[in-house]
Structure 1
Amino acid sequence: MPMKADRPHMLTEEFEELAFTARNRMEGLRLEFIDGQLRSRALLDGSHGRVVQWLTRICMRHHPELWLHPGRGLKVQTGRNGRAVPDASLARSDAFAGQGEWSDPGAVLMAVEVTSWDSDTDRRHRQEKPRVYAESGIPVYLLIDRAECEVAVHSEPGGQRYECVRTVSYGRDVHLPDPVGITLQTEVLKDWVR
């Protein structure tokens, strides 16, 4: 039976200490704390990084005042007791200056996740992350799903879910609604799947 947020595995402060220690001792390991449960993220492969690079270039071309911050820890969920590490967060270039490892998501315009080949991808990327990002009020959640060869754009956060979800197969254009306002041509994503 899964642990509930009202009966967490540990306190948020204990998680932050554990995540800090793990990051400094085990290169590439990223920990998250969602619904009171400890989650680990697998090491990222080269194609995963290439997808984030591709998206970074597009965002910079359209919004030079913004930056796609990779791996920025965010305080998520209602009450901000959860901790998530999106693959990238679109925000002003100075949005997180002076902040610690975990930032308030208020400045984030879009959270981005690129699926890896983890056994828990369905639960984490397709179920938990849309919910916690919506709860946090992040306007757009972009899921680049390499397992399904699809791009899902979640928008209009309304409490515990996004009210609008648009999914397209790789090769089709997809519009990222305001405040992002960019149309992605996804054909190139076919090069970065297994």
Structure 2
Amino acid sequence: MTPRTEHRPQMSVEEFEEFERHAPESVWLEFIHGKVVVKPMADGNHREMIAWLQRVCMQHRPDLWLHSESGLQTEKYRKGRARADGVLVSVGGLKGQGEWSEADVALMAVEVTSYDSDTNQRDRVEKPDGYAAAGIPVYLLIDRDDCSVVVFNQPEDGHYRHAEKLPFGATVTLPSPVDITLDTEPLKELAD
């Protein structure tokens, strides 16, 4: 018989939230799959990519707003805490929400990869699963490592059933409920 390994979180969600409130402003903390994760601060190109996406969203869907650096309750039963680089919601959708918003207000979560050793596990593996488990309809990953954009959608049973990867410069369609088409040519200049 093979012994069963049980996943045990480092701390409770409540303990993490208290711990995060006292963290220095120079770091962002997330709670993913029961582990505390340190997310690096964004560099200039990272912030410019989010600003570009905010501008595009505002032009195409003035009824929506892309909030940067927004905390979300993620994973099954909202046991995770992710600080998304961007969260697309209806205008006013975060009104009354606390530091860690309910994921059901999010139409799309956005991550831009960072140049650190944890980006593969965090942005390409754990975040898609956490966002899908929380029922976020669309996850947009802007991957600076290979100059691509990945659109995940159709969340089901803690995973996205569909993912499409396109190179920077391609026309990218963000599916319903987002319904925005992106010309990703400007991302080529920000890839460094």
Q: Give the equivalent residue in structure 1 for 2:91.
A: 93
> Conserved in 2, the CA contact under 8 Å of 1:5 and 1:36?
no
Q: Give the equivalent residue in structure 1 for 2:130.
A: 132
Query: Which consecutive unaligned segments of at least 5 residues does structure 2 have?
Result: none
Question: What is the deviation of 1:122?
Answer: 0.6
Q: Give the equivalent residue in structure 1 for 2:44.
A: 46
Cα distance in structure 2, aligned partners of 1:118 and 1:191: 20
Q: Deviations over 1:97-153 (max 9, x none)?
A: 122111111010000000111111110010001100000000000000011100000
Where 1:67 maps in the other structure, the secondary structure is strand
Instruction: Quote the sequence identity (%).
Output: 48
146, 149, 157: which one aligns with 1:148: 146
Q: Give the equivalent residue in structure 1 for 2:106.
A: 108
Q: Check if 1:17 corresponds to 2:51.
A: no
Question: What is the deviation of 1:6?
Answer: 4.3
Where 2:84 maps in the other structure, the secondary structure is coil
Alignment coverage as a number of residue pairs: 188
Following TM superposition, where does structure 1 have runs of at least 4 consecutive aligned residues deviating by more than 3 angstroms?
none
TM-score (norm 2): 0.95
> Conserved in 1, the CA contact under 8 Å of 2:142 and 2:148?
yes
TM-align CA RMSD: 1.2
TM-score (norm 1): 0.94
Q: Structure 2 vs 1, CA of residues 43 and 104 (structure 1 numbering), >3 Å: closer, same or farther? A: same
Within a 5 Å distance, the mapping from 1:74-85 to structure 2 comes to 74-85=72-83
> Conserved in 2, the CA contact under 8 Å of 1:5 and 1:35?
no
Within a 5 Å distance, the mapping from 1:30-69 to structure 2 comes to 30-69=28-67
> Conserved in 1, the CA contact under 8 Å of 2:61 and 2:180?
no
